[in-house]
Chain A
């Protein structure tokens, strides 16, 4: 190991500049203030409320502002069982959200129907809306939900700015879920 020389760096006063990529700045801004829409139906909703509480805080991620209006939300957190009666409403809420939007499916019921393999339960919300991250568990511990949220942050940070307007995205929505999207 060589010697470490500490030298004085000349201070620069006045305006500076930073060289970066626009994608990275926007990604950092988006990832640190994701506003969730808690679509909490059942037991996973209570675990989500515990995640919101002071022990497993989500305010450190900038997410404490729960938006119940889809127009102002970034992340749709579906926590709980979705029945077939509720599926059209879930789809409508998803369509009302503005791009870019992400979906976090919390719990076994939202991911795949869970233990309720019955005539009235939708076997997974990915039958009606595209899902970005699945959090398994029945109900998942708040630590797991936070892990899901951090995975969402990874997706948010690495997304290209053009993705939502691209043809592939629009085709994916149209072919799989019959959702017309114009990138807004």
Chain B
């Protein structure tokens, strides 16, 4: 199924509504990717969901990426949204700094975002304001670091039996 929506039109409408919060857009491999200000993410997701023509009302995925080299905006939050009616996929990206990794939760609009946000918190330490139960989900509760950040190793730092020289670390 192909859709009839030109990506430029969508970005134009979004910019008309939210102005400077829409920072840039691009289309890697055909998927409309819009970089936005993290403060506006909740409003933009709500607008996309309630818009009568676009009807982007399905949350496909929510995750984060850690870019240690981008000072001041190290954690990128990536939202993949989908309009089942129009077969339109949209990707939203918002960058937050690592010393204050906060963003508003979207669990009030999408119940499925609950565990996705918990997983992002567990792996990267992103705080979702307003989340009903932001605790670790996949790792042990006693873990005191966020393992998916780039500065941490894959292996357990405390194991003593495997010699790193032979395992090609």
Measured between alpha carbons, how far is A84 from B140 in the docked complex, in Å? 8
Sorting the interface of chain B by its residue count into under 10, 10 to 19, 20 to 34 or 35 or more gives 10 to 19
Instruction: Answer yes or no: A117 CB below 8 A from chain B CBs.
Output: yes
Q: In the complex the two chains form, is B167's CB within 8 Å of A119's CB?
A: no
Q: In the complex the two chains form, is A117's CB within 8 Å of B139's CB?
A: no
Instruction: Answer yes or no: B165 CB below 8 A from chain A CBs.
Output: no
CB neighbours (8 Å) of A175 from chain B are: none
| Shortest distance between the CB of A117 and any CB in chain B (Å) | 6
Q: In the complex the two chains form, is A123's CB within 8 Å of B139's CB?
A: no
Measured between alpha carbons, how far is A2 from B155 in the docked complex, in Å? 71
CB neighbours (8 Å) of A84 from chain B are: 140
Q: CB-nearest residue of chain A relative to B152?
A: A119
CB neighbours (8 Å) of A120 from chain B are: 138-140, 147, 156
Q: In the complex the two chains form, is B154's CB within 8 Å of A118's CB?
A: yes
Q: CB-nearest residue of chain B relative to A122?
A: B156
Q: CB-nearest residue of chain A relative to B161?
A: A123
Measured between alpha carbons, how far is A119 from B157 in the docked complex, in Å? 8
Q: B residues 110-165 with Cβ under 8 Å of A?
A: 138-140, 147, 152-157, 159, 161-162
| Shortest distance between the CB of B138 and any CB in chain A (Å) | 8
CB neighbours (8 Å) of B161 from chain A are: 123
Measured between alpha carbons, how far is A123 from B160 in the docked complex, in Å? 11
| Shortest distance between the CB of A74 and any CB in chain B (Å) | 30
Instruction: Answer yes or no: A7 CB below 8 A from chain B CBs.
Output: no
Measured between alpha carbons, how far is A85 from B138 in the docked complex, in Å? 9
Q: In the complex the two chains form, is B155's CB within 8 Å of A85's CB?
A: no
Q: In the complex the two chains form, is B167's CB within 8 Å of A117's CB?
A: yes
Measured between alpha carbons, how far is A118 from B147 in the docked complex, in Å? 10
Q: In the complex the two chains form, is A118's CB within 8 Å of B140's CB?
A: no
Q: CB-nearest residue of chain A relative to B139?
A: A120
Q: In the complex the two chains form, is A117's CB within 8 Å of B147's CB?
A: no
Q: A residues 91-141 with Cβ under 8 Å of B?
A: 117-120, 123
Q: CB-nearest residue of chain A relative to B154?
A: A118
CB neighbours (8 Å) of B152 from chain A are: 119
CB neighbours (8 Å) of B138 from chain A are: 120
Q: Show the binding face of B for A, using Cβ within 8 Å.
A: 138-140, 147, 152-157, 159, 161-162, 167
Q: Show the binding face of A for B, using Cβ within 8 Å.
A: 84-85, 117-120, 123
Q: Pick 21 A–B contacts, CB within 8 A, sort by A.
A: A85-B139, A85-B140, A117-B154, A117-B162, A117-B167, A118-B154, A118-B155, A119-B147, A119-B152, A119-B153, A119-B154, A119-B155, A119-B156, A119-B157, A120-B138, A120-B140, A120-B147, A120-B156, A123-B159, A123-B161, A123-B162
For the complex of A and B, the 4 pairs showing the least CB-CB separation, nearest first, are A119-B156, A85-B140, A117-B155, A118-B154
